[in-house]
Amino acid sequence: MIATYSAVMSYVVLLRFYAFQTHAFDLGIFNQAFSTALQGKLFYETPDQYLIPSGSFLGVHFNLLMFLLLPIYALFPHPQTLLLLQTGVVALGAIPIYLVTRRIVGTEKIALIMASVYLVNPAIINLNLYDFHLEAFLPFFLGMFFYFYIAGNWKGYAVFMALSLITIEFASLIIVAICLAHALRTLSRRPKNHFPVSFGIEKPRALILLLTIVISLVAFYLILYVSLVISGKPISVQGNLSTFVSIPENIQLFLAKSEFWMLCLIPLMFLPLLAPSQLVMIAPWFFVTLLEGAYATSYSFGYQGAGAFVVPYLILGTIFAVEKLRRHRLQLRGFFIGVFLFSLFVSPFNPLMQNRIPGIAYQQGFPIVTAHDQVLDAAIGLIPPNASVLTQNNLFPQVSNRADSFLYIPNGNASIEYVLADSMASTYTAGVSASQTMKEFLPYFLSTGNYGIVVNDDGVMLLKANYSGPVLLAGSTDYTFNYQTLDLSAGSEESDPSSVSGTVLVHTSSDLSGGTFWFGPYVSLPPGRYDVTFVLKTAPATNGSLYLDVDNFVNSTSAPILAQQELTQADFSSPGSWTNFTLTFNYTPQDASTGGLEFRGVDAIGGPFSLDYVEVTYVSPFNA
């Protein structure tokens, strides 16, 4: 089962990489950190420099595990190595589930079933899908730590405790919670009024649990302290706690957090609730989600939190619930069928769940490498290995094997040789701040006159400093908008088999006269000269007019018109047939950095006028 899981998920995560569905946060960060470590820098990475002036990832999380992984990465120093390594170690998390079940429940069959419950759980798959994180090692490390306590193997216990502590600082708190779970489980099974001095636990084991808790809490403090020192930031607890202790203030936030915990429990049929003493293992993350403010990934199910900090320990609790059900001679088949069905239903591979559950794993769909991705690959291949690059979130991992790859300009002295942009991606308009986005950067670098265009194909642009040669990779760039992406104001949607999409927007004499027919979509495009074609038709008997309008929408009071044309019945040479009306407009760097393009039908009078679609085509660089 582990081999099957590893093979399938390795294929999927590599597809995600080649389809540009990975990100600077966090695959790019880790790849750059490991790559620069091989170049003699202390896990240097640039995306976090706004947080850590030192530039070392150890200032974000002081993880000694990275030193142990570095020799593995050195064998094949590429981001794909990290994705495959993570897949393998996530799959290994099934081993402690199997071992604990076999020891507690006592049957090989149920042990195998519980291992498969782990492997198909959507939270575990989400942990594997979303880039690379050191937290992915915790299900295996902490699971073996849990098992070796039960087995009384203290060497294994110590080894996996140490591995967990050097993985991420939060593991210290989970170790404490696991120790409490062991103690509570022992207490719950002791006869009443039969407690020795060590509160129902054999004295050696009680001392081991106490020592483990002390070591973990000390390690937690030391790791946080060292991280602050390495980061180069002032050591101040107050500033960190002010953002951490943000009590929920509205019902929407409460519902988002409740949804997270329900999604953790539903695929397990709420069985962990039958072993309440083991729920203490998830208490640390429960308090994190309780205190976290709005827009946090900690309580978004499609990120790594559920799979690293919650569900593996709920599955361990499920083992004890299964053992309890067997002691009461209850049939387990129905429970296991429900677990597998719910796991498959909530899976990120279920198309019905796409964009319905928060988190990256549910936002991008199954990865498919497209012709657009091939253009991106070709553009990246034109960048020399040691050249400095400024790019955007979804492109950063592919250029992160160098110290001088950036998501933003960290200081005024940074020398940028190449600028790589993809205006088709949502990350074009998203960055670490409103002013640090590719939507802002690309127009700026074009406007300086110091950069030439190397690639301009399908929304992909590659600029090079001091370049005056030909465009090496050029192609048409077309954007099409129809009833699905344009907003309707005065009119209606109607079925029309003669249209490309099968549905059109229609304005008739019975609709509001003189108003806006359609508007939108406020798209962000690179600077350049564009043709925009409106595909419309009218009936043989039409009495009215319509203005076609291209503007750069900045805000409700500022939307400069870039091109406009008035249409009347006389402009339709073949009434009843689709007619193309093309306008040309110049989109300057200033326009591209401040607004979003809007293609409107305004001042609509009479009709009927039907719109099939609007097509925007890049023609040439902008005319200064």
> Rounded to 5 degrees, what angle do the CA atoms 59, 65, 66 make?
65
Residue 194 has pLDDT above 50, yes or no: no
What pLDDT band is residue 189 in, cutting at 50, 70 and 90?
low
Residue 396 has pLDDT above 80, yes or no: yes
Residue 113 has pLDDT above 50, yes or no: yes
What integer pLDDT is reported at residue 624 of this predicted model? Answer: 56
User: Lowest-confidence range among 60-74, 87-101, 245-259, 368-382?
Assistant: 245-259
Q: How does pLDDT run across 30-71, given as a tens digit for each residue?
A: 999 999 999 999 999 999 888 887 788 888 888 899 999 999
Q: How does pLDDT run across 296-323, given as a tens digit for each residue?
A: 888 999 999 999 999 999 999 999 999 9
DSSP H or E run through 596: strand 596-620
Give the distance from CA 276 to its chain's centroid.
33
What integer pLDDT is reported at residue 415 of this predicted model? Answer: 86
Phi/psi region, residue 398 (left: phi>0; alpha: psi -120 to 50; beta: rest), is alpha
Residue 174 has pLDDT above 90, yes or no: yes
What integer pLDDT is reported at residue 380 of this predicted model? Answer: 96
User: Lowest-confidence range among 66-80, 221-235, 249-263, 472-486?
Assistant: 221-235
Mean pLDDT score, 487-506: 94
What integer pLDDT is reported at residue 161 of this predicted model? Answer: 96
What integer pLDDT is reported at residue 56 of this predicted model? Answer: 86
Mean pLDDT score, 456-468: 92
Rounded Cα gap, residues 302 and 172, in angstroms = 24
Residues 6+ apart with CB under 8 A from 59: 48, 51, 52, 227, 228, 230, 231, 232, 233
β-bridge mates for residue 488, sequence order: 518
Q: Which residue has the higher pLDDT, 541 or 455?
A: 455
What integer pLDDT is reported at residue 82 of this predicted model? Answer: 97
Do 580 and 571 form a contact (C-beta atoms < 8 A)? no
Q: Which residue has the higher pLDDT, 220 or 241?
A: 220
Rounded Cα gap, residues 467 and 469, in angstroms = 6
Q: How does pLDDT run across 565-614, given as a tens digit for each residue?
A: 999 888 998 888 999 999 999 999 888 888 899 999 999 998 899 999 99
What pLDDT band is residue 471 in, cutting at 50, 70 and 90?
confident
Q: What class does CATH assign to 478-620?
A: mainly beta
Residues 6+ apart with CB under 8 A from 321: 271, 272, 273, 274, 275
Mean pLDDT score, 131-149: 97
What integer pLDDT is reported at residue 212 of this predicted model? Answer: 87
Domain boundaries of the chain, sorted by first residue: 2-235+244-362, 371-472, 478-620
Q: Which residue has the higher pLDDT, 80 or 245?
A: 80
Percent of the chain with pLDDT over 90: 64
> Phi/psi of residue 414, each to 5°?
-65, 130
